[in-house]
Each structure stands twice: as structure tokens, then as C-alpha cells.
Amino acid sequence: MPDTALVCTSGHVANWHSGTQTQLNVPFCEKCGKETISKCPKCQADIRGAPNRFNPAESTPPPSFCASCGAPFPWTTARILAAKELADLRDEIAEADKPIMKTTIDDLVGDTVRTPIGITNFQRIMGKAGPVVRKLFVDCLAGIVSEAVAKALVR
């Protein structure tokens, strides 16, 4: 039975074992100052934590979606919105490609049947936009796309 994670609304994990190692629970994130939550804001289910008593690697991201109701967690929503805003702001992305890039971001987040379409569009648009813009999107989407998708995006 996995423990419950305590995560700040930006997505920094404050405690992978908030159910059993309660002495490590904190109300605010020491990395960014945002409040921490251990339950899904939508359905109040516990946020899935570490599967055993060991802490995952420092770089392990918290879950992107609630396993009980499927809602994106606040850090997921924030990164999706930031990536879409980035698509609007960067002149390197052609006007005609901007709406496609936004759909692409939805396609990349969450492993679905549309993920390969997302990767294909991402590569096409980033091939024109250049490596600087590509890196901005890769960093923005890090942690909310699967490891396989993250690898495909830097190629």
C-alpha cells in the first residue's frame, strides 16, 4: 500500500510519506513558498505517495493526475497553461502553428492514443522554431509528461 504524498501546488514533493512520517509534514513549500496538499482538491482522495519506506530519487516528479477521479493536479494544470502561454508568446512559432501547438501540449500530457500525434506535431513545429524554444517547452513539460515522451521531445 503506497503512502500519501505531500506536494506543494507548484509540484515540489515535500514529503513522500506524509501518512507515516508526519513529523516531516510542512504547511508550505521550502522551495517556492506555495501551500502543500496531500489530497486531491477535486475529490479529496489521498495523493499517491512512495510505494515503500524509501524516498524516490530527488528528481522523481509527483503524479500528474489523480488516480481516483482523473483530474489534473494543480501543478499539472499550471504547467499546461504555462506551456500554452509560451506557444502564444514565441514569435519563432508561426501563427498558423500556435493553435496546433496548444492541442499538441494536451496530446503530450498523459499517455493516450494521441501521444504519437503530439510527438509528431511537436517535432515538426520545433524543427522550425529552433533549439532554444524547444528547450523552453521541454523544461516546461518536464515531470508532467511520461519519461518516454520526455525522451522523444529532446530528440
Q: Find the binder of Zn ion among 68, 77, 123, 146 (CB under 5 A).
A: 68
Q: Find the binder of Zn ion among 5, 7, 13, 29 (CB under 5 A).
A: 29
Residue 69 lies near Zn ion (rule: CB under 5 A) = yes
Closest to 81 measured CA to CA, from 41, 126, 141, 30? 141
As measured in angstroms, the least distance from the Cβ of 94 to Zn ion is: 35
Give the interface segment with Zn ion, choosing from 29-37, 53-61, 86-94, 130-138 (CB under 5 A). Answer: 29-37
Which ranges in the chain belong to alpha helices (H)? 74-89, 98-108, 115-129, 131-141, 147-154
| In contact, 36 and 26? CB cutoff 8 Å | yes
Give the interface segment with Zn ion, choosing from 19-27, 30-38, 73-81, 86-94 (CB under 5 A). Answer: 30-38
Chain center to CA of 129: 22
Number of residues that bind Zn ion (CB under 5 A): 15
CA neighbours within 13 Å on the CB side: how many for 144? 28
Residue 12 lies near Zn ion (rule: CB under 5 A) = yes
Residue 42 lies near Zn ion (rule: CB under 5 A) = yes
Helix (H) or strand (E) holding 7: strand 6-8
Give the interface segment with Zn ion, choosing from 41-49, 84-92, 101-109, 117-125 (CB under 5 A). Answer: 41-49
Q: Provide DSSP, 54-91.
A: SPPPTTPPPPSB-TTT-PBPHHHHHHHHHHHHHHHH-T
Query: What residues form DSSP beta bridges with 65?
Result: 72
Q: Find the binder of Zn ion among 5, 37, 66, 153 (CB under 5 A).
A: 66
Give me the residues that bind Zn ion (CB under 5 A), please: 8, 10, 12, 29, 31-32, 34, 40, 42-43, 45, 66, 68-69, 71
